[in-house]
Amino acid sequence: DTGVSQNPRHKITKRGQNVTFRCDPISEHNRLYWYRQTLGQGPEFLTYFQNEAQLEKSRLLSDRFSAERPKGSFSTLEIQRTEQGDSAMYLCASSLGRGAGVAEKLFFGSGTQLSVL
């Protein structure tokens, strides 16, 4: 299966610890997105990359959050000094990103469920 892969699937951490999640997009996809989803809500856009360039960040992405996509392939999302309010599902999605604009189709991973105790 060559879909979007996210690791780990689940992460439990203590408040104040740092955590890092990884996303491997579909291999030929240039765009990669990160979202946060809490229970009972839809995904909320956090940031996205076109190849290795981080093109946009949401106001939801506080200074404690950082995302990278160093070689334009996989991406990591790090949360420093985690807080209980960071508990959520973190979803990654990828798309071809070759000018399709509003018509581009996103493929989501299964997410990383973060619980901050």
Site residues, another protein (CB under 8 A): 4, 31, 33, 40-45, 48, 56, 91, 93, 95, 97, 100-106, 108-111
Q: Could you please report the per-residue DSSP string of 75-111?
A: EEEEESS--GGG-EEEEEEEE--SS-GGGPPPEE---
Nearer CB in complex with another protein: 21/48: 48
Nearer CB in complex with another protein: 52/104: 104
Query: What does the block give as tokens for 61?
Result: 């992405």
Task: Report, in Å, the least distance between residue 14 CB and another protein.
Answer: 24
